[in-house]
Amino acid sequence: MKELEPANRGLAFGNVKLKDVNIAILIAALVSSLLVPLTGLPYLRFIMMYFFAYAIYTASWDLLYSYSGQLSLGQALPFGLGAFFTIMFIQKIPLIPSAVLGTLAAAAVGGSVGATTIRLKPGYQGIALLLFSQVLYQITLILYGEEGLSIFSATPLSQTTMYISGVLIFAVAMFAIYLIQTSTYRLKLLAIKGDNLAANVSGINVPVHKAIVFFLSSLIAGIGGTYYAIFTSHADFTVFAVPNSFLPIGMAIVGGTGFLGGPIIGSAIITLLIRILPIWYSLAVTLFVYGLAVMAILKIRPTGIIGLLLRRKTAKGGPKAAKG
């Protein structure tokens, strides 16, 4: 039994309990997103908006990693493209078409770039994607300077509208990922992940499906980036920076890879960490702690927090615990 990715394995073998846990986490996230405005704490509401964007972003990285075995070290590419395209379109056309077009453009560009890397070995593929995010980091820095692009609107969206749309986008994106991760299509992806050659021999067109999952992942990351740009009304070169590419990786590792629940838990914890710790300490200290936390979790408990939850659940179940 492999130590890594138990969530993934459980799903592949139709483990109903695993689905239950993940759906419970999704519902808990949605309920708490509805409860947060009742607390009357504006900063917490603001953090929740970051959480929506980051959870979508993390789930998009995890889709790529856990379902096709492709490690992207440059997931900031589609995320940042979504943010930049949306802000660029908003200068010319209304908000909603801009958001849709921005997301689609991010999916198209991110997916195309990703598709060029699918023949490389996993490690090299990851760095090839990092290369493109670094290239865009430089280009956006030169084109738009350190201040980046901002939305200047005479009638800005109210915080309430922004929050409600965040909840809706979060729910829709997570449901879309849920559909992908429970469809029979995932079996093809898991086969590719398990063994490229064997999948090829069994008639799966490996490069095509690897590219498809790249487009899907870029689309979802683009949704996250678009929402991020809209609620912060801003996009600058730092969205393409490596710490931003590391963000979803660390979040997925902390929460646990393999299904919706991990990215949701991970992004909730890390968003709280990186939004609350800087109140007392600097951002560098926060990111330092974040890096340490990811190293510690990956070393001590590679299954993440969801692994702990599942372990407890199977322990109650009796004999499974002894085997697991």
Which residue stretch of 9-17, 145-153, 248-256, 261-269 sits at the interface with another protein (rule: CB under 8 A)? Answer: 248-256
Cβ proximity of 102 and 226 under 8 Å: yes
Residues 224-243 that bind another protein (CB under 8 A): 242-243
**Within a 13 Å sphere around the CA of 126, how many CA atoms are in the beta-carbon half?**
14
C-alpha to C-alpha distance for 51 and 37, rounded to whole angstroms: 14
Q: What is the nearest approach in angstroms of another protein to the Cβ of residue 154?
A: 34
Site string for another protein, 267-286 (x = CB under 8 A): ---------------x-xx-
In the bound state with another protein, the residue whose beta carbon lies nearer, of 11 and 130, is: 130
Q: Which is nearer to another protein, 19 or 193 (CB)?
A: 193
Can residue 109 be called a binding residue for another protein (CB under 8 A)?
no
Q: Which is nearer to another protein, 42 or 194 (CB)?
A: 194
Stretch that binds another protein, among 79-87, 170-178, 229-237, 290-298 (CB under 8 A): 290-298
Q: Which of 65, 56, 67 is nearest to 266 (CA)?
A: 56
Q: Which of 34, 295, 315, 321 binds another protein (CB under 8 A)?
A: 295
Neighbouring CB atoms inside 10 A of 256's CB total: 30
Q: Is 120 in the site for another protein (CB under 8 A)?
A: yes
Which of 37, 104, 116, 159 binds another protein (CB under 8 A)? It is 116
> With contact defined as beta carbons under 8 Å apart, do 55 and 267 qualify?
yes
Looking at 88, 200, 277, 278, which residue binds another protein (CB under 8 A)?
Answer: 200
CB-based contacts of 123-131 (< 8 A; 24+ apart in sequence) = 123/71, 125/70, 125/71, 125/72, 126/71, 126/72, 126/73, 126/74, 127/73, 128/74, 129/72, 129/73, 129/74, 129/75, 129/77, 130/73, 130/74, 130/242, 130/245, 131/74
Write the interaction track for another protein spanning residues 4-33; mark x where CB under 8 A is met and - where it is not: xx----------------------------
Is 306 a binding residue for another protein by CB under 8 A? The answer is no
Helix (H, G, I), strand (E, B) or coil at 149: strand
Question: Does residue number 43 form part of the binding site for another protein (CB under 8 A)?
Answer: no
The span from the CA of 161 to the CA of 173, in Å, is: 18
Phi, psi of 14 (to 5 degrees): 65, 45
Residue ranges binding another protein (CB under 8 A) = 2, 4-5, 65, 69, 71, 73, 116-124, 126-128, 130-132, 134-135, 138-139, 142, 196-197, 200, 206-207, 210, 242-243, 246, 249-250, 253, 282, 284-285, 287-288, 290-292, 294-295, 298-299, 302
